Amino acid sequence: MRALPTRAALPLAALPLVVVPAAAQQASASLPELTVTSVSPIEARPSPAPSPGPGPGVLPVLTDTFSPVTVVTRDQILRDQPRTLGDALGERPGISASTYAPGAASRPIVRGLDNARVRIQENGVGIQDVSELGEDHGVPINPLVANRIEVIRGPATLRYGSQAIGGVVSAENNRVPSFIPVSGYAGQVTTGYTSVDNGRLAAATVDAGAEGVAFHADGFRTAADSYRTPAGIQANSANESQGGAVGVSRVFERGFVGVSFSHYDALYQIPGGEAAESRTRLDPRQDRLLARGEYRPAEGPFEVIRFWAGGSAYRHDERGLSEDGIDGVRATFKNREAEGRLELQHVPVPTSLGTLTGALGLQSSRREIGTAGEAGTLLAPTDSRSNALYLFEELALGDGLRLQAAGRIEAARAAGTATLFPADFLPVPGEDPVSEARRRHFAPKSASFGALQELPYGFVASLNASYVERAPTAFELYSRGAHDATETFEIGDPNLKLERARTVEVSLRRALGPLRLDATGYVTRYTGFIYKRDTGIRCGDDFASCGTDDELQQVVYSQRNATFTGAEIGAQLDLLPIGDGFAGVEAQYDFVRAEFDDGTFVPRIPPHRVGGGLFLRADGWFVRVNLLHAFAHTEVAPLETVTPGWNDLRAEISRTAPLDPAVFGASEITFGLQGRNLLDDRIRNSASFKKDEILLPGRSVRLFLTARF
Task: Supply the pLDDT for residue 2.
Answer: 39
CA–CA separation, 321 and 553 (whole Å):
20
pLDDT, averaged across the chain: 91
DSSP per residue, 282-293: E--EEEEEEEEE
Q: Which of 336, 412, 415, 322 is nearest to 371 (CA)?
A: 336
- Residue scoring higher pLDDT (324 or 607): 607
Lowest mean pLDDT segment, chosen from 22-26, 207-211, 423-427: 22-26
CA–CA separation, 694 and 102 (whole Å):
10
Q: Is 140 helix (H, G, I), strand (E, B) or coil?
A: coil
Task: Supply the pLDDT for residue 48.
Answer: 53
- The helix (H) or strand (E) run that includes residue 23 is helix 22-28
pTM of the complete model beyond 0.95? no
Q: What is the pLDDT of residues 386-416, one digit of tens each?
A: 999 999 999 999 999 999 999 999 999 999 9
Q: Is 162 helix (H, G, I), strand (E, B) or coil?
A: helix
> CB under 8 Å to 640, separation ≥6 — which residues?
534, 603, 604
Task: Supply the pLDDT for residue 415.
Answer: 97
Q: Which of 351, 361, 326 is nearest to 124 (CA)?
A: 361
> CB under 8 Å to 497, separation ≥6 — which residues?
472, 528, 559
User: 559: which strand partners?
Assistant: 530
Residue 178 contacts residue 254 (beta carbons within 8 Å): no
Res. 379: pLDDT tops 50: yes
Residue 79 contacts residue 670 (beta carbons within 8 Å): yes
- The alpha carbon torsion through 294, 297, 303, 309 (nearest 10 deg) reads -20
> CB under 8 Å to 449, separation ≥6 — which residues?
155, 403, 404, 405, 406, 464, 465, 466
Task: Supply the pLDDT for residue 377.
Answer: 85
Q: What is the pLDDT of residues 322-362, one digit of tens each?
A: 888 899 998 999 999 999 999 999 999 999 999 999 999 99
Give the number of residues written for the chain.
Answer: 709
User: 407: which strand partners?
Assistant: 391, 447
CA–CA separation, 54 and 441 (whole Å):
46
The confidence band for 373, taking pLDDT boundaries of 50, 70 and 90, is confident
Task: Report the amino acid identity of residue 179.
Answer: F
Res. 9: pLDDT tops 70: no
Find the angle CA(576)-CA(581)-CA(584) to the nearest 5 degrees.
40
Task: Supply the pLDDT for residue 3.
Answer: 40
Distances (CA, A) of 147 to 34, 76, 476, 693: 12, 10, 34, 35
DSSP per residue, 408-448: EEEEEEEEEEEEE--TTS-PPTT-PPEEEEEEEEE--EEEE
> What average pLDDT does range 202-210 have in this prediction?
96
Residue 306 contacts residue 516 (beta carbons within 8 Å): no
> CB under 8 Å to 418, separation ≥6 — which residues?
435, 436, 437, 438, 477, 478, 492, 494
Find the angle CA(129)-CA(408)-CA(162) to the nearest 5 degrees.
30
CA–CA separation, 365 and 93 (whole Å):
32
Handedness of CA 81, 706, 587, 568 (dihedral sign): negative
Residue 575 contacts residue 583 (beta carbons within 8 Å): yes
For 679, phi and psi rounded to 5 degrees?
-85, -5
> CB under 8 Å to 560, separation ≥6 — which residues?
528, 529, 531, 596, 597
Task: Supply the pLDDT for residue 46.
Answer: 56
Res. 134: pLDDT tops 90: no
Q: What percent of the chain has pLDDT over 90?
A: 82
What proportions of the chain, in percent to the nearest 5, are helix, strand and coil?
10, 55, 35
Lowest mean pLDDT segment, chosen from 70-84, 361-375, 474-488: 474-488
CA–CA separation, 169 and 671 (whole Å):
28
Q: Which of 154, 167, 149 is nearest to 110 (CA)?
A: 167
The confidence band for 23, taking pLDDT boundaries of 50, 70 and 90, is very low
Give Cα 519 to chain centroid, integer Å. Answer: 19
CA–CA separation, 21 and 578 (whole Å):
12
> What average pLDDT does range 426-455 have in this prediction?
95
CA–CA separation, 317 and 414 (whole Å):
24
The confidence band for 196, taking pLDDT boundaries of 50, 70 and 90, is very high
CA–CA separation, 157 and 467 (whole Å):
12
Lowest mean pLDDT segment, chosen from 15-29, 189-203, 408-422, 519-533: 15-29
Residue 604 contacts residue 692 (beta carbons within 8 Å): no
Residue 62 contacts residue 509 (beta carbons within 8 Å): yes
CA–CA separation, 186 and 80 (whole Å):
22
Cα separation of the two ends of the chain: 52
| Other Cβ atoms within 10 Å of 432 Cβ, number | 11
CA–CA separation, 709 and 702 (whole Å):
23
> CB under 8 Å to 413, separation ≥6 — which residues?
383, 384, 385, 386, 439, 440, 441, 442
Handedness of CA 512, 513, 516, 519 (dihedral sign): negative
Q: What is the pLDDT of residues 549-606, one digit of tens each?
A: 988 999 999 999 999 999 999 999 999 999 999 999 999 999 999 999 999 999 999 9
CA–CA separation, 684 and 665 (whole Å):
44
Q: What is the pLDDT of residues 169-183, one digit of tens each?
A: 999 999 999 999 988
CA–CA separation, 288 and 121 (whole Å):
12
> What average pLDDT does range 298-320 have in this prediction?
95
User: 386: which strand partners?
Assistant: 365, 412
Q: Are strands 355-373 and 434-442 parallel, antiparallel or unpaired?
A: unpaired
Indicate left, alpha or beta for 85 from its phi (over 0: left) and psi (-120 to 50: alpha).
Answer: alpha
